[in-house]
Structure 1
Amino acid sequence: MADMYLLPGLKRLCGRSLAQLLDEDSVVGLWRVAKLFRLARLEDQCTEYMAKVIEKLVEQEDFAEAVREEAAAVRGRQEQDSIPLVDDIRFHITSVVQTYSNIKEMERRLHALEDLLVSIGLDC
């Protein structure tokens, strides 16, 4: 409705309110809503949250399905082309590295994401 009535402030307010609901069970659905309504800030908050809980997310079928859908949405996708959702999650995983212990945690998270990609037959 905010788009229909040209109320960008309402759209931002809705995005901020939805961001308060982020948890492991809602993050994929909220990310889909953010993409659908072009809520860039909420989309970024979702991918940042996904990066934090990636080891749990990779066990959820709805997350794997979201990755598959993103891969399919890339027009003319070649075998090793990037997938925007995966790229955003990788960015957030790697952006917090400041200490050696952070490096180990980053490697663990990236490995979990890579394992998911292999299990669903994607290479990016």
Structure 2
Amino acid sequence: MSDIKRFDHRVCEYPGGTFSEMNQEADGDYVLHSDHEAEVARLRAELQNAAKAALDATALACEKEREADALRVNAERYRWLRDQPWRDNEELEPVIRLQLNALWDDKIDAAMGEGK
């Protein structure tokens, strides 16, 4: 807890009666309502910040996972290209030979699908 003042309650007896008093104590069992409310607000803000940080980290992890998936697909595509006799494929060979780069992925994927 932050700068919350804590108090203890004591009942004191004296000849002729008793009286009750609250004394400020470092480890007291009581706090002022205003201090309690301020601490609850502080803790809620801290929790909200931690939750936002966790959500941001999760979103970043998901984005990195999507990037990894895309890279994995490209790696599979080009490993297949490296290891297959693509020159025998009538649709794929001219795309590669003529450097029609915009068509490579679609044509390679189609050729990969033929081998499955």
Comparing both structures, which one devotes a greater share of its residues to strand? 2
Fold equivalence (TM over 0.5): no
Q: TM-score range by the shorter chain?
A: under 0.3
Greater RCO, 1 or 2 (C-alpha within 8 Å, sep 6+): 1
Larger gyration radius, structure 1 or structure 2: 2
TM score, norm. by length of structure 2 = 0.20
TM score, norm. by length of structure 1 = 0.19
